[in-house]
């Protein structure tokens, strides 16, 4: 997948930004993350959303899709891939122990694939991002219409 990476803001270390493969900030994602920061979301949430959106945008880039052309079918295809990918993270899963019960702790070893709650979280990240984009687009259109209406002189 194309490398969309996270970086911390130089101005505020609690704000995470996403940089594209061209090493330029991805403005649509970063505006959304800044909005979440202004809404009082935690640094953990901002990092989680930034990481999720970086992964999704990497998939878009790899598949040749543009964010403006995302459909429910595209999200479905992405989630199908996301749910079957081998999960990453700080502690890699030993494929030989995946799903087995540890006799000492009686806990099962992690699976190789993402859990349903992780998939649901990623869907929530995408839903929030696209809701924000729709809201911003609507406000810009309404704002343009208001300015256009105000530009027409009243006939007395």
With a cut of 50, say whether residue 93 has pLDDT above it.
yes
- pLDDT value at position 91? 64
User: Is residue 50 within 8 Å of 33, Cβ to Cβ?
Assistant: yes
For residue 132, the enclosing domain spans: 5-151
Q: Are 99 and 111 in contact (CB under 8 A)?
A: yes
Residue 145 lies in a domain: yes
Examine residue 156 and state whether it is found in any structural domain, yes or no. no
CB–CB of 20/4 below 8 Å? yes
For residue 138, the model assigns a pLDDT of 76
The tens digit of pLDDT for each residue in 109-154 reads 666 678 889 999 999 999 999 999 988 887 766 665 554 443 344 4
Which helix (H) or strand (E) segment holds residue 16: the answer is strand 16-19
Q: How far is CA 133 from CA 28, 127, 140, in A?
A: 8, 10, 11
- Distance CA(44)–CA(41), nearest Å, equals 8
Mean pLDDT of the chain: 81
Q: pTM for the full model?
A: 0.78
Q: How many domains does the chain have?
A: 1
**97, part of any domain:** yes
**Residue 33, in any domain of the structure:** yes
Tell me if 65 is assigned to some domain.
yes
The answer for residues whose C-beta is within 8 angstroms of residue 113's C-beta and 6 or more apart is: 83, 84, 85, 86, 87
Cα maximum dimension of the chain: 87
């Amino acid at each position: 997948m194309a490398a969309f990476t996270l970086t911390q803001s130089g101005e505020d270390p609690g704000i995470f930004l996403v940089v594209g493969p061209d090493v330029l900030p991805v403005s649509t994602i970063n505006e959304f993350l800044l909005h979440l920061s202004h809404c009082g979301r935690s640094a953990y949430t901002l990092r989680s959303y930034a990481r999720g959106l970086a992964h999704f945008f990497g998939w878009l880039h790899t598949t040749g899709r543009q964010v403006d052309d995302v459909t429910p079918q595209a999200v479905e295809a992405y989630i199908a891939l996301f749910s079957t990918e081998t999960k990453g993270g700080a502690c890699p899963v030993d494929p030989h122990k995946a799903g087995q019960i540890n006799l000492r702790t009686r806990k099962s070893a992690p699976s190789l694939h993402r859990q349903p709650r992780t998939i649901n979280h990623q869907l929530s990240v995408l839903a929030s991002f696209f809701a924000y984009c729709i809201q911003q687009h609507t406000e810009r259109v309404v704002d343009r219409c208001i300015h256009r209406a105000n530009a027409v002189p009243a006939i007395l």
